[in-house]
Chains A and B, each alone.
Chain A
Amino acid sequence: MPTVNLTVNGKAVSANVEARTLLVNLLREQLGLTGTHVGCDTSQCGACVVHVDGKSVKACTLLAVQANGSKVTTIEGLASGDKLHPMQEAFREHHGLQCGFCTPGMVMSAVCLAQNHPNLTEKDVREGLEGNLCRCTGYHNIVQAVLAGAQAMRR
């Protein structure tokens, strides 16, 4: 069995995985980080988004072995202690979630988007979240939350 060594939310971890183990399986089943969700088996929904070396990726579409040596950030890695990340806080403030299933992926995509666009517009947000599906909110409040969260991140 291959061994992978990676940094997850700032901590060095080492795990034995099968070749077919997806990064999302490693995170959820072996490391117990169940904040990263699985909403589909076709790489379409975006519930599984994490950051690998600072880029948002779908953790259901990457082999765990391919993340060997990388820095991975999951939704659990955003808050500092009890203090929510500004993007998480903005989702709460603006009712950017209902059932919450899509939320970890939405927040991770949104953080990456905000980091890449210094002046995020509503159009950027709607385009940037094209790979994240939500069955509850109708997106309006998510877009408001991301705009507010991005602004808060700049402060």
Chain B
Amino acid sequence: MYATFDLDRPGDLAAALAILRTKGAVALAGGTNLIVDMRAGRERPQRVVSLDKLGVLRGIRQARGQVTIGGRTTVTDLLLSPVIAKTAPALVESARQFAGQMVRNTATVAGNIACGSPAADLVPPLFALDARLTLVSARGRRTVPIESFFIGYKKDIRRPGELISRISWKAPSSRSCALFYKLARRKGDAITVVGVAVALDVERGRCRRARVALGAVAPTVFRAREAEAILEGQTLTPELIESAAEAAAAAARPIDDIRASAAYRRHGVHALVRRLIGQAWEKLA
């Protein structure tokens, strides 16, 4: 058996935040990363604070053009929600490709963000939505763009005891298209080799806003801003799309590992950015 710990299952958020202030305490959501890491001895928390009774952290709402989901919303919740289907199609696609049904039933959105993996599948679509994270602790709350949350491989700006309570984004206009593609060694239950999310907004025949977010090809998920700049303000042509794809591939900093070589990953970025931007533009044009 793995190392013991003290376990709390608080019924309200304030109580949870108070316990999380204590040294060596960690939050437990779906457990699909944390329990696996604890069983393997990679994580040895002294105190585990289970969030499963905190209903306030779970749910999906849309009000005044703003979509807000609780951090404890599960991947299955995303797939069942008409609001998510309408406002975040790339997130739906990544939720569909996520693990298998049992893991989707328990794995949470905040857990996916907080695990800090560059291969976390829900994160590139959230970057493409310009999502904002609400962080709460016993000391107060703050809201940050998801892009500034990650500062290095498995490193983020959370202060001790801080939870991701909400994730929110502006519902996109009707003249927008968002897509996600997960390249992996097989379809089911596999870790992403290259994850690409793109979003385009079109106005009067021009690309008004472009987002290209890349997963698993750098220490963190990131936006290929050079690629976005090539597209924004333009009427897209195959040549422009090709140079955006080249810019995205150049911005990637992939590694060689057991799943793929760095060169293959870079090639994957190029091919997928070109394909997804092309598809999105075609849908809107």
Contacts and interface: CB of A to CB of B under 8 A. Distances in A.
B106 A62 contact: yes
A20 B105 contact: no
B6 to A, nearest CB: 6
B5 interface: yes
A17 to B, nearest CB: 10
B36 A42 contact: yes
A57 B102 contact: yes
Contacts of A127: 187-188
Contacts of A112: 101
A51 to B, nearest CB: 10
A147 interface: no
A19 B189 contact: no
Interface in A104-141: 109, 112-113, 126-132
A19 B102 contact: no
B258 interface: no
Contact of A20 (B2, B187, B188): B2
B4 interface: yes
Contacts, number: 84
B9 interface: yes
B105 A2 contact: no
B106 to A, nearest CB: 6
A66 B31 CA distance: 10
Given A63-B31, A130-B187, A46 B102 contact: yes
Contact of A128 (B2, B32, B101): B101
B1 A131 contact: no
A8 interface: no
Contacts of A56: 101-102, 105
A46 B105 CA distance: 13
Interface string B1-41: 11111110100000000000000000010111001101110
Contacts of B101: 56, 109, 112-113, 128, 130-131
Interface string A2-41: 1000000000000000111010000000000000000001
Nearest to B74: A55
A66 B100 contact: no
A72 B105 CA distance: 15
A68 B50 CA distance: 12
B199 interface: no
Given A19-B48, A131-B189, A63 B106 contact: no
A131 B100 contact: yes
A46 B187 CA distance: 17
Interface in B136-194: 187-189
B255 interface: no
Given A19-B4, A57-B102, A61-B35, 17 more contacts: A20-B3, A43-B35, A43-B36, A44-B189, A58-B103, A61-B31, A61-B36, A61-B103, A62-B35, A63-B7, A63-B35, A65-B9, A113-B101, A127-B187, A130-B189, A131-B99, A131-B101
Interface of B: 1-7, 9, 28, 30-32, 35-36, 38-40, 48, 50, 52, 76, 99-103, 105-106, 187-189
Interface of A: 2, 18-20, 22, 41-44, 46, 49, 55-58, 61-63, 65-66, 68, 109, 112-113, 126-132
20 contacts: A2-B7, A19-B5, A19-B7, A20-B4, A20-B5, A42-B36, A42-B40, A44-B189, A49-B102, A55-B76, A57-B105, A61-B31, A61-B35, A65-B50, A66-B9, A109-B102, A127-B188, A128-B101, A130-B99, A130-B187
